[in-house]
Amino acid sequence: MNRLQDKVAFITGAGRGQGRAHAVRLAEEGANIIAVDICANMASVPYDLATEDDLAETARLVEKAGGRIVARTADVRDVDSLRTAVDAGVAEFGRLDIVVANAGIWSNAPFLDMSEQMYHEMIDVQMHGPYNTCRAALPHIVDGGRGGSVIIVSSTAGMRGFPNQVHYNMGKHAVVGLMRTLANEFAPQFIRVNTIHPSSVDTKMVQNDAIWSAFAPGVENPTFDDFGDTFIAMNLLPVPWMEPEAISGAVAWLASDDAKYVTGATIPVDAGYLGKYN
């Protein structure tokens, strides 16, 4: 479609899952990609995170889609590592137009049982990560003088409360405040800022033993038959989760001129989850 021809997008958490899908979709639309991922595990996260091989596979798929890519290992908790990656990409491609603050993790515990490490790792990734991403990237978009689009991936947990994951809910709510503030501050430069709010997406964040057990408590080695009906029942549409590419469609739209007058918006892509529970 080439709606993003010759534009440059910076994407965090691009090693796999939604981040990879976003990188490939934007490349298919004509964009070049600056991709980062931590490529390491975190102590409080109950599943493996992306690896350097995963990030290399994202790079391969972006190039297969016709895009160029600068891929770097970087931690969204460390603004300097993000600046190094963004600067390298801008030096290669000469501009920056789009930011997709996508990196995220999941863990759960009852409020009174949550460890300090679990709380702080989540807040540092989910709340401080998008802030750091915008701090590193927005100066380049402003300097370009062409406007741009910042897309922060929140969650239905950024619009509704869920038990046993107060830290996740706090982070996903907080980035809505970040978005609304930046939408106001950067509108004069025609830089649009929005959040996307997915419900369950078919990535490792959902497809892991810890979350399956949370939805099928007391069941040893749960399978889809044990928890799938619970996931389906949460949505208006009769699906347990959405494919990552479905979220990427919304990302591509917000990045493009098709959404050139959309800013300050909270956009659900949730199979009707929020509509069902209103």
Q: How far apart are CA 260 and CA 93, in angstroms?
A: 23
Return the residue matching tokens 């996931």. 231
CB atoms near residue 227 (< 10 Å)? 19
89 token code pair: 């990409």
User: Which stretches of the chain are assigned E, i.e. beta strand?
Assistant: 8-12, 32-37, 69-73, 98-101, 148-153, 191-198, 266-269
The DSSP annotation for 265-276 comes to -EEEESTTHHHH
Phi, psi dihedral angles at 39 (to 5 degrees): 55, 45
Rg (CA), the chain: 18
222-226: list long-range contacts, CB under 8 Å, 24+ apart: none
> Parallel, antiparallel, or unpaired for β 266-269 and 191-198?
parallel
Judge whether 168 counts as a catalytic residue: yes
Q: How far apart are CA 109 and CA 169, in angstroms?
A: 12
Which of 168, 261, 273, 277 is labelled catalytic?
Answer: 168
Active site residues: 168
